[in-house]
Amino acid sequence: MSALFEFLLRQGDNVLVLGHRSSEWCGKAPVLEEDIALANTALDLIGQTQLWLGYAAEVEGKGRDANDLAFLRDVYDFRNVLMVETPNGDYGRTLLRQFFFDAYQLPWLDALTGSKDQRVSDIAQKSLKEVRYHYERSRDTVIALGDGTELSNSKMQEALDYLWPYSRETMSVDAVDEEMAEEGIAPLPSSMLDQWNVSVQNTLRDANLKIPESAFVHQGGRNGKRHTEHLGHMLATMQVLQRSYPGARW
């Protein structure tokens, strides 16, 4: 399996899994405006998935397409970070998870626009426009909820305590990342840490939330060695149609 294929799976799987998680709020969000906004975010993420996994399928060269990679792989074939597969919880946790991801994804995609791989650069440029909106919205909502009522603040602090150990896996580095950096396809994910820290710390300060002291980071999703039990349950729902009717086309 080539390093480029692994790299592309990581990009595509992150937005696929988060997009599906976000779509689970459709028809269930607290108010209509939020329902529509999060549904649109989910659609953006799924659209980005099509681009990343479509390119991954071409690089693999085994006759698969983006749909095959999305619907016909098992849990340990996925390369998403663990955070995006965690359950939605309440709406505050969902938006804080989105913010943590956006705070990484914004500088990451901006850096990828300079990739020596033209396809990677093109996908990043197209996705960046949407992610700027995602970031602004998730950041503003986190601040509004954290700096809201006593109840909303306590809910957001609970969300922060839960998600914090998952939040920094996006910036871990392994041999795949090092090869991509050497070839000029992508910078090391760890190079995003300073920008991520500034964005997150400023936002959580404005939201009157206390950052946990623990430095522990859950890892294993990016290389498929470890996933939470939640991903399997999610895939059972997401893949049921294709698994039940193999090869079905609309």
Quick check: 66 pLDDT over 90?
Answer: yes
Q: Which CATH architecture has domain 3-244?
A: Up-down Bundle (1.20)
Quick check: 145 pLDDT over 80?
Answer: yes
CA-CA-CA-CA torsion sign (100, 101, 105, 108): positive
Task: Give the separation between CA 158 and CA 55, rounded to whole angstroms.
Answer: 38
Average pLDDT of the segment spanning 222-250: 91
Average pLDDT of the segment spanning 143-152: 97
CB neighbours of residue 61 within 10 Å? 9
The confidence score (pLDDT) of residue 24 equals: 96
DSSP 19-36: HHHHHTTTTTSSSHHHHH
Task: Give the separation between CA 215 and CA 197, rounded to whole angstroms.
Answer: 13
Mean pLDDT of the chain: 96
Quick check: 227 pLDDT over 80?
Answer: yes
Q: Residue type for 74, please?
A: D
The confidence score (pLDDT) of residue 29 equals: 86
The alpha carbon torsion through 30, 31, 37, 41 (nearest 10 deg) reads 20
Task: Give the separation between CA 112 and CA 186, rounded to whole angstroms.
Answer: 6
Model pLDDT for residues 156-169, shown as the tens digit of each residue = 999 999 999 999 99
Average pLDDT of the segment spanning 102-112: 98
CB neighbours of residue 136 within 10 Å? 12
Confidence label for 113 from pLDDT (cuts 50, 70 and 90): very high
Task: Please give the model's pTM, rounded to 2 decimal places.
Answer: 0.96
The confidence score (pLDDT) of residue 246 equals: 87
Average pLDDT of the segment spanning 24-40: 91
The confidence score (pLDDT) of residue 174 equals: 97
Quick check: 249 pLDDT over 80?
Answer: no
Confidence label for 202 from pLDDT (cuts 50, 70 and 90): very high
Residue ranges per structural domain of the chain: 3-244
Quick check: 141 pLDDT over 90?
Answer: yes
